[in-house]
Amino acid sequence: MEGKCPSRDVLIQMAKENPEAVADLIIALWARVDALEAKVAELTKNSRNSSKPPSSDKHGPNRPQRSAKGEAKRKPGGQAGHKGSTLEMRLD
């Protein structure tokens, strides 16, 4: 069934001359559509929408990409005015 799609006129002529062939063609195409839909459904499954483990995901991690380090909204460190406590370095 690979190849170029026949024109409308060719299909009409085939239906007049051999309706069984047209019925066979429709059944074969329907089966192909079902197979392709099943394949799409299988390819769109991942660990979030099925019971598959995360290690079976083929297209990267499930979590959204994190932004670059320089784009943080908050500055690192404690609250302003809080006296910090750091261990002193020992020279033994």
Note the pLDDT of residue 61. 58
Model confidence pTM above 0.75: no
pLDDT at 72: 65
Angle at 38 between CA 2 and CA 48, to 5 degrees: 140
Q: What is the pLDDT of residue 8?
A: 92
Q: pLDDT digit string (tens) for 7-60?
A: 999 999 999 999 999 999 999 999 999 999 999 988 888 888 888 787 777 766
**Nearest alpha carbon to residue 63 among 48, 41, 42:** 48
Helix or strand or coil: residue 27? helix
Check residue 20 and give its pLDDT.
Answer: 94
Q: Pick from 30, 62, 65, 32: which is nearest to 45 by CA? A: 62
38-to-32, 34, 52 alpha-carbon distances in Å: 10, 6, 17
Query: pLDDT class for 66, splitting at 50, 70, 90?
Result: low
